[in-house]
A and B are shown apart, each in its own frame.
Chain A
Amino acid sequence: MLPEAVAAMTEELPRTGNASSLHTSGRRARRIVEEARERVGDALGAGPSEVVFTAGGTEADNLAVKGLFWARRAQDARRRRIVASPVEHHAVLDAVEWLAAHEGAEIDWLPVDSLGRVDLVALGETLARDPGSVALVTVMWANNEVGTVQPVAEIVAAAHEHGIPVHSDAVQAVGQLAVDFGVSGLDCLTVSGHKIGGPVGAGAVLARRGLDLVPVLHGGGQERGVRSGTLDVPALHAFGVAAEIAVADREELAVRIGALRDDLLRAVVAAVPDAVLRGDPDPAGRLPFNAHATFPGCEGDSLLYLLDARGVECSTGSACQAGVPQPSHVLLAMGVPEPVARGALRFSLGRTSTAADVEAVAAAIGPAVERARRAGVGGFATEAVPS
């Protein structure tokens, strides 16, 4: 969390005041919230009335996907199809699948290429096949695991040709890429506070003026009646401060951290020549803070332990409820075979990353991979691998 955001939050924490109240402290609280709304809107190219605050990215994705689906279907009962990419974050993926299981939605999964990028030709064909039955299109701005940037402008153009609204989960993109809601033409966009140096538990849906969203949470009618619940003034204040800083620093950070990321990838390949870098090899087509690779013959979990023991923290992907590591749905959608997908590592860099961090990874990765290979995959020890 950014120090400025911590300061903003701690400044507000002791103060009372419900932003929906009419008394003095309520008015003061409302002023803070509305300033945050303007800050977030300004940072992301949205008007203040287009910012709907939520308690984080997952809630925002659920509100956008479900709210849009219900609203569109209410307008026309034929609109039951959801066109989605299979590499979405689970907050979108599982919301879409829930709608299919419980609300009669039909899902059109868009094919992605080996970089994880949506196939625009397939999108065009999918939409053209009875466009009147499509409720919405949802494709993330950039993928959180492999970093691939999606062709959002082209997707919006294709969907709007048929009058179909588009939602994009931009949780990973904000602060790394230029995200301008107005310019993008999107109808709905998700952003989360904790990914940009703000607090966990603050997020927003940017919803185009006049866009109808059916609420997920019902109650006091806050946030245009779309998202009820007393507003978390300190968190939103910090979120606004963080959004402003993240966007102001973005260009400089993208260059500096992007260069570190490139160094990191070079070091990984130098230490492990058969490591396979995933996502778009062109820096222009991927998130600057993201590095991703698969290591043949390794269990990602073994690598995680070996690197953690050397002070390197990275992640493998997701785990089931019991904590069993699962091969990434993103890699599987990209056509990566399951045994290969099990040996994946994602390195997330950020504002505080340094050349020393990259050197630490460069020194640790070779021995870690060697060890992990000896330990095998799934409890089956692998044969000695050629060096």
Chain B
Amino acid sequence: MRVLAAMSGGVDSAVAAARAVAAGHDVVGVHLALSRSPQTLRAGARGCCTIEDARDARRAADVLGIPFYVWDLAERFERDVVEDFVAEYAAGRTPNPCVRCNERIKFSALLDRALALGFDAVCTGHYARIVGGELHRAVDAGKDQSYVLAVLTPERLAHALFPVGDTAKDEVRHEAAERGLQVAAKPDSHDICFIADGDTRGWLAGRLGRQPGPIVDGDGEVVGEHEGSFAYTVGQRRGLRLGVPAPDGRPRYVLDVQPVTNTVVVGPADRLSVDRLRGAHLTWCGPAAAPGDRVGAQVRAHGEEVPATVVAVTGDGEVAVALDRPLRGVAPGQTLALYDGTRVVGSATLTATAASEPLETAGAG
């Protein structure tokens, strides 16, 4: 097969490319330039767009003896990931940009270009497995990235290779060292690649400007002020700086973000618990689920999987699930991934959450 190996400059994608070469494929390495200003040089960290990463990727490709190119997908990334990220926060939702990037860049813009150029597949260093055309969790549960890939359709998965999904991370590092890849000891990436310092709120304020507004409690009483509702996420506790203490003295959390009125609603922890989830933009990674099916539901990248029942599936791409036990701090915009054992069934973007139990009861204790 002719394989295009996406090489971020990290250890996982380098070993993935090495394994594709070892499997006898005709491999070409490509580093994606996703930022218009790739001057960033961050010590000890890894982003998507630094000179250091491009150099590390090139170095690995040279060690593997494969051709290497840098492809400029910055315009697509800005439009489909960064602007989407800003718009989602501005609308009071909490997006996952890695999910968007996989959906619209790596397995869309990149894969389309690869197929047009005559490649058969795109290979990445994601920790996930493809078994018989189906997407499954990685064997290393701590590193599993199937959640951020749950937006891939069977057609896309047919052209994807995840060579490290069957291996534990420390073994991947060990293999990198054995193969003479200098990135063997490079630290894992964290945070959002286009927010270099990890300060999402500050970055959003730079894009959206300062928009002061009220923070209110469940009764509508103003208990504080914020500088832009977009900077808040349901379930958030830190950084609220509330002037009026809670009557019961217990910590308060963000319960709701209302961008239309630029209002942030806070309340006690028990009000965060939800067990009814509704999502739109539904994608099946393989055979579709139907109402009544038992599934596992996961709402954040490394969050726990909760047993659930599919309640409804509509023709226009909406899904509703009932969780066996409640989850706390689930925000609209997050990706809901559904599992059947290790198999990824599909995903949707959360639009609404609710608690089936009366809140008064839950809060009375």
Chain B: residues with Cβ within 8 Å of the partner, total of: 30
If A306-B117, A374-B116, A379-B113 touch, does A325 touch B67 (CB 8 Å cutoff)? Answer: no
Name the residue in A319, A324, A380 with the highest tally of chain B Cβ atoms < 10 Å from its Cβ: A324
Q: Contacts A322-B49, A322-B50 given; indicate if A302 touches B75 (C-beta within 8 A).
A: no
Instruction: Collect the chain B residues with CB atoms within 8 Å of residue A304's CB.
Output: 69
Contacts of B73 in A (CB 8 A): 378-379
Task: Map CB proximity to B onto A295-332 as digits: 1 under 8 Å, 0 otherwise.
Answer: 00000011011101100000000011111110000000
Identify the interface centre among B33, B50, B55, B77: most chain A CB within 10 Å of its CB: B33
What are the residues of chain B within 8 A of A379 when measuring CB–CB?
A: 71-73, 75-77, 105, 109-110, 113
9 nearest A-B pairs in the assembled complex, by CB-CB distance: A323-B70, A379-B76, A375-B116, A322-B38, A374-B116, A322-B54, A379-B109, A379-B73, A324-B33
Smallest beta-carbon distance A302→chain B, Å: 6
For residue A342, which residue of chain B has the nearest CB? B72
Min Cβ gap B52→A in Å is 9
Give the Cβ gap from A141 to chain B, nearest Cβ, in Å.
Answer: 32
A-B contact count (CB 8 A): 77
Q: Which of chain B's residues 2-52 have a Cβ closer than 8 Å to chain A?
A: 28, 31, 33, 38-39, 49-51
Please give me the residue from chain B that is nearest to A306 by CB atom.
B117
CB-defined A-B contacts under 8 Å, sample of 10: A301-B71, A302-B117, A305-B28, A321-B38, A371-B116, A375-B113, A376-B112, A376-B113, A379-B72, A379-B73
Interface size class of A (residues with CB under 8 A): 20 to 34
Say whether A381 faces chain B, with CB atoms less than 8 Å apart.
Answer: yes
Which of the residues B53, B69, B75 comes within 8 Å of A380, measured between beta carbons? B75
* A372 close to B (CB within 8 Å): yes
Instruction: Give, as a whole number of angstroms, the nearest-CB distance from A71 to chain B.
Output: 34
Q: How far, in Å, is A327 (CB) from chain B's closest CB? A: 10
| B contacts, CB < 8 Å to A | 28, 31, 33, 38-39, 49-51, 53-55, 58, 67, 69-77, 105, 109-110, 112-113, 116-118
Q: Roughly how many angstroms separate A375 CA and B116 CA in the complex, as a whole number?
A: 5
Given known contacts A301-B71, A323-B58, A324-B72, is B38 in contact with A375 (CB within 8 Å)? no
How far does the alpha carbon of A334 sit from the alpha carbon of B118 in the complex, in Å? 33
Which residues of the other chain, B, contact A381 by a CB distance below 8 angstroms? 112-113, 116
Residues in B with CB closer than 8 Å to A378 are 72-73, 75-76
Task: Name the residue of chain B whose CB is nearest to the CB of A375.
Answer: B116
The answer to whether A376 touches B117 (Cβ under 8 A) is no
CB distance from B139 to the nearest CB of A (A): 33
Complex formed: what's the CA distance from A380 to B74 in Å? Answer: 11
* A321 neighbours in B (Cβ, 8 Å): 38-39, 51, 54
Q: Are B67 and A308 interface neighbours, CB within 8 A? A: yes
In the complex with contacts A324-B33, A371-B116, A379-B113, A301-B38 CB distance below 8 A: no
**Do residues B75 and A371 form an inter-chain contact, with CB atoms below 8 A?**
no
Give per-residue flags for A77-119: 1 if the beta carbon is below 8 A from chain B beta carbons, else 0: 0000000000000000000000000000000000000000000
Q: How far is the CB of B77 from chain A (nearest CB, A)?
A: 8
Contacts of B117 in A (CB 8 A): 302, 305-306, 371-372, 374-375
Tell whether, in the assembled complex, residue B116 and residue A323 are in contact, meaning their CB atoms are under 8 Å apart: no
Q: Given the complex, which residues of B lie within 8 Å of A322, measured CB to CB?
A: 31, 33, 38, 49-51, 53-55, 70
12 further interface pairs, Cβ-Cβ under 8 Å (given A305-B69, A371-B117, A378-B73): A301-B72, A305-B28, A319-B70, A322-B51, A323-B33, A374-B116, A375-B117, A376-B116, A379-B72, A379-B73, A379-B105, A381-B116
Contact: A325 with B116, CB < 8 Å?
A: no
Q: Given A371-B116, A381-B113, are A324 and B70 neighbors across the interface (CB < 8 Å)?
A: yes
**Complex-state Cα separation, A375 to B109, whole angstroms:** 9
Give per-residue flags for A6-39: 1 if the beta carbon is below 8 A from chain B beta carbons, else 0: 0000000000000000000000000000000000
Query: Would A324 and B116 be within 8 Å (CB), given that A378-B72, A378-B73 are in contact?
Result: no
B49 to chain A, nearest CB (A): 7
The reply to whether A325 and B70 form a contact with Cβ atoms under 8 Å apart is: yes
- Which A residues are in CB contact (< 8 Å) with B105? 379
Question: A301, B116: Cβ atoms under 8 Å?
Answer: no
Which of B71, B109, B110 lies at the interface centre, i.e. has the most chain A CB atoms within 10 A of its CB?
Answer: B71
Chain B CB within 10 Å — which of A323, A325, A378, A381 has the most?
A323
CA distance A322 to B53 in the complex (A): 8
Interface residues as binary, A349-386 with B (CB distance below 8 Å gives 1, 0 otherwise)? 00000000000000000000001101110111100000
Closest chain-B Cβ to A305's Cβ sits at a distance in Å of 6
CB-defined contacts of B118 to chain A, threshold 8 Å: 306, 371
Q: Which residues of B contact A309 (CB under 8 A)?
A: 67
> How distant is B50 from chain A, measured CB to nearest CB, in Å?
7
A191 to B203, CA, bound (A): 49
Minimum CB–CB distance from A271 to chain B (whole Å) comes to 18
Enumerate chain A residues within 8 angstroms of B50, measured Cβ to Cβ: 322
B58 contact set on A, CB distance < 8 A: 323
Q: In whole Å, how far is A274's beta carbon from the nearest beta carbon of chain B?
A: 19
CA distance in complex: A302, B71 (Å): 9
Q: Which residues of A contact B109 (CB under 8 A)?
A: 379-380
Minimum CB distance partner of B118 in chain A: A371
| Contact between B69 and A301, CB atoms less than 8 A apart | yes
CB A78 to nearest CB in B, in angstroms, measures 36
Query: What are the residues of chain B within 8 A of A308 when measuring CB–CB?
Result: 67
Closest-CB distance, B69 to chain A (whole angstroms):
6
Cα separation A309 to B70 with both chains bound (whole Å): 16
User: Inside 8 A of B72's CB, which chain A residues have their CB?
Assistant: 301, 324-325, 378-379
